[in-house]
Structure 1
């Protein structure tokens, strides 16, 4: 059994999020940000917390790092907790998502080191290939700005739809210019997409949620993102100003060590790809 504190949270309402940020501000007195205490890292359960647990159990003690891992199942709280100092760092997101989050929420989170990529994939319990999706089929996609755009780009790159030129990381179904099979899109919280597979014809699922749902991206996805030149690598992140915290720098070294690379390769068999 992993020695982590598991925290399950709902996506925060906008008002509560704004209140939380203004109330907490840049308080550095909490345990997550104390340079002489343990480094507390917020992480998605799979694979982020698993990778951190490997570091904690096998590498941290020898390196003189006191590491604690807190699991979160949403994509909001890890950043707000890092912003208010409840944790010292987080590990769950990519650069386009972080840029969008900081812009919308006034947070000051910055990346430290990129560790891995979780390829986004299209999955189905109804058909065995993307070509077999019928006219009018319903496809579930994540509803947060960046992951929805990423999902639509995956479909466009595989010839299922065409998107408006230059739409970038803010694409929505309204930006589809060609939809020859009249696909319908169901927008869901990212964590809900694998659970929707019984109710829709197909779903685009983030790699971490696919793995949690016992899907094997390298084997089960109808179409899968390419790792080549992919901007969606997941990284260790901190509040701006904490990049030089000795504990953070030590964790960054350990997360990009040969031991972690081998763990990722052995544990995930291509469903998670080391980015270093």
Structure 2
């Protein structure tokens, strides 16, 4: 006997096919990370999310490209592995509709010296070494400019040729980034990446005369699909990674490895009398 199929109204058909599943409360958040320090920070956020009713699943990636693709395609809910300039470039190059929702930490460039204790001690003709690759060289120059040591042309990526004012006549010497800690005995000061500074026995939060802060565009951020940015689970994720517990973890456990928190925890409101 043949069975006759009847057309169902749109809503009834949607319910029959499981439309209601997408409207159910989300209870699992899948986040893609690169290993250090992103996994460690997310692991610290996991129990805070659990207390809000969300299980956190952390998936590891060994490169920077795939976490953005996986997020855009829907196999991740969020990712945490990149700074804002990298995200912006990738969005344009690959046509991805992604948005950062929380600043978490920075792996900062800092200005270090074995000869002076404060930038006010810099004098005419002092030598400052800095990375010679375009990205970090530009970051280094912007750090110096942010503190009034030089003035730069208004460009996205700057080099020493873009210095338009140098009141102290500082000699800016570009060298391989990995060699910079060794130059501290020969130069007045050096702008050094966190990983190389730590390898050289320096702790940014303790030893840097100048350091990139939360206003730097190179802050590492949590990223979601733009369509999800107002979801309750995104708010919960932001609260967790910007919590007092995570900030304390970064300061107490990661600062010695060069990681600096890029967010402040709001002061608690006084208890009502």
TM-score w.r.t. length of structure 2: 0.62
Question: Partner residue of 1:120?
Answer: 109
Following TM superposition, by how much is the alpha carbon of 1:137 offset from its aligned partner in structure 2, in angstroms?
6.0
1:164-243 equivalences in 2 (<5 Å)? 164=153, 166-167=154-155, 169-178=156-165, 180-186=169-175, 193=177, 195-197=178-180, 202-206=190-194, 215-227=202-214, 232-243=218-229
Distance 1:81 1:182 in 2: 45
Any conservation in 2 of the 1:45–1:71 contact (CA below 8 Å)?
A: no
What is the rounded CA distance, in whole Å, between the counterparts of 1:265 and 1:158 in structure 2? 24
**Equivalenced residues, count:** 226
Residue 267 of structure 1 is matched in structure 2 by: 253
Task: Give, in whole Å, the separation in 2 of the partners of 1:251 and 1:59.
Answer: 9
Do residues 62 (structure 1) and 51 (structure 2) align?
yes
Q: Classify 1:106/1:141 alpha carbon distance in 2 versus 1 (closer, same or farther; 3 Å).
A: farther
What SS is found at the alignment partner of 1:241?
Answer: helix
Distance in 2 (CA, whole Å) between partners of 1:205 and 1:150 is: 10
Matched, 1:40 2:40: no
CA distance in 2, matches of 1:90, 1:82: 7
Give RMSD over aligned pairs. Answer: 3.9
- Which structure 2 residue ranges, 5 or more long, are not aligned? 1-25, 185-189, 265-273
Rounded Cα–Cα distance in structure 2 between residues aligned with 1:69 and 1:89: 10
The CA distance in 1 between the partners of 2:181 and 2:243, in whole Å, is 40
Q: Which residue of 2 aligns with 1:22?
A: none
Are 1:156 and 2:145 an aligned pair? Answer: yes
Q: Give 1:45 deviation, angstroms.
A: 0.9
Please give the per-residue CA displacement for 1:202-248, whole angstroms capped at 9, x wherever unaligned.
Answer: 34315x77568764112222422355x55554321113223255543
Structure 1 runs not aligned, ≥5 long: 1-34
* Preserved contact between residue 122 and residue 204 of structure 1 (Cα < 8 Å): yes
Higher Cα radius of gyration: 2
Q: CA deviation at 1:110?
A: 0.4
Equivalences for residues 72-91 of structure 1 within 5 A:
75-91=64-80
Distance 1:212 1:249, change over 3 A: farther
Q: TM-score, normalised by structure 1?
A: 0.62
Equivalent residue number for residue 5 of structure 2: none
Please report how far the alpha carbon of residue 121 of structure 1 lies from its aligned counterpart in structure 2 after TM superposition.
1.0
Aligned match of 2:40: 50
Show CA shifts across 1:124-167 (max 9, x none): 6xx444749986764215543xx543321112234554312x33
Q: Residues 215 and 161 of structure 1: is their aligned pair in 2 closer, same or farther, counting only changes over 3 Å?
A: same
Aligned partners of 1:54, 1:85: CA distance in 2, in Å? 24
In 1, the alpha carbon distance for the partners of 2:141 and 2:210 equals: 12
Alpha-carbon distance in structure 2 between the residues aligned to 1:132 and 1:123:
16
Is the 8 Å Cα contact of residues 32 and 61 (structure 2) preserved in structure 1? no
Kindly state the Cα deviation for residue 174 of structure 1 after the two structures are TM-superposed.
3.5
